[in-house]
Amino acid sequence: MAWKTLDDMDFAGKRALVRVDINVPVEDGVVTDTTRIERIIPSVDDIQEKGGKVILMAHFGRPKGQVVPEMSLEHIAGAVADVLGLPVTFVNSDYGDAVAEMEGDEVLLLENLRFNPGEEKNDEGFAKRLASLGDIYVNDAFSAAHRAHASTEALARLLPACAGRLMAEELGALEKALGTPERPVVAVVGGAKVSTKLDLLGNLVSKVDHLVIGGGMANTFLAAQGIDVGKSLCEHDLADTARDILAKADAAGCEIILPRDIVVAREFKAGAANETLAPDACPADAMILDAGPATVAYICEVLEKAKTLVWNGPLGAFEIAPFDAATNAAAAKAAELSKAGKLISVAGGGDTVAALNQAGAADDFTYISTAGGAFLEWMEGKELPGVAALG
């Protein structure tokens, strides 16, 4: 799908309504991680350099259409100004006057959009009120693109619209990974439950050449093949579904990679006594907490031949050692190949980012998405309303 970017728009003398994601963590009134604010700098700088004025729109938390004082964006306006290195004026509700009085390189930050019930209802009236403030709409919040809200969908139909730098970068990375990827393509999907990733697995088997299934999800697939997984986390009621996915993969010529050896323990705690066994040798009183070295060796062999990697979820109980070994080793291999220019690697999802950071591999991946839900829905093959509205 083609979408316009900042390069396609004339911002000279225009006001740009820029939808951003600055839903940052705050403790005791202090922003503890400014990453999301830092990521909007390229778009803000570009628009100003092209002679435009910037009006930032964002949500914060889940106030559900009510005014919740502790969720006011006023609390982070200072942090936004510090990170951008620009004067930032917070605007409570009287938007019009503040817009008319904008000066120089001043940036406006509108109050939390979700204080207005019209935002999450994708209300045309609220979108028109926002549209009256600007001349051009810029969406730089891929993480909110899976929501059809007033500021992501309705507004994009009311003004000339384009993707901001961050949104365009994200969409470009995703297109390279699953839209028109270089083959072979490998997907790594891990996590606790198959039930939360059914759509994802169903879409991937027709798109990728190799699908690595790890974490608790792998136990469900092993059990579906008649293997006793002891006390492991397992969704036994999804055995038929797991077998369907295996059959679909087989028909599509997609190799499903399940653990070739398992690491088991009797208790779930750091440093717990553990042993590495064949997949069908899990003792009745033990649980599978990681994939073993033979599995990792095979995954690394597959990655060596791959051109593209999409990663979502850990291969084991990565939160505690030694059950982070498989995730760390496979991530290190993917990072090494990416750094050498041999692999395009795209990863996303909360646990995934945490696991790759912990493995020290995140910096060498081609692209890390912090978008969570939007990244997952894109991997599931769903149309994202906020992206479709830019087309």
**Going by DSSP bridges, is the β-strand pair 262-265/287-291 parallel, antiparallel, or unpaired?**
antiparallel
Q: Which of 193, 260, 266, 342 is catalytic?
A: 193
* Cα distances (angstroms) measured from residue 308 to each of 76, 98, 211: 38, 47, 12
Q: Which of 78, 202, 373, 381 is catalytic?
A: 373
Q: What is the rounded CA–CA span in Å between residue 31 and residue 79? A: 7
Whether 350 is catalytic: yes
Closest CA to 50 of 82, 15, 22: 15
Whether 349 is catalytic: no
Q: What is the rounded CA–CA span in Å between residue 217 and residue 259? A: 11
Using a 10 angstrom Cβ sphere, with 0-12 exposed, 13-18 middle and 19 or more buried, the burial of residue 184 is middle
- Give me the helices (H) in the chain, please: 35-38, 41-49, 77-84, 95-100, 117-120, 124-131, 165-174, 198-204, 215-224, 239-252, 293-305, 325-339, 350-358, 373-379, 385-388
Cβ–Cβ < 8 Å for 305, 338: no
Cβ–Cβ < 8 Å for 286, 265: yes
User: What is the amino acid identity at position 343?
Assistant: L
Q: Which of 96, 125, 350, 360 is catalytic?
A: 350
Whether 373 is catalytic: yes
Residue carrying the six token digits 């979408």 = 3
CA 127 centroid distance within chain: 26
Q: What is the rounded CA–CA span in Å between residue 101 and residue 111? A: 17
* Residues designated as active site: 36, 193, 350, 373
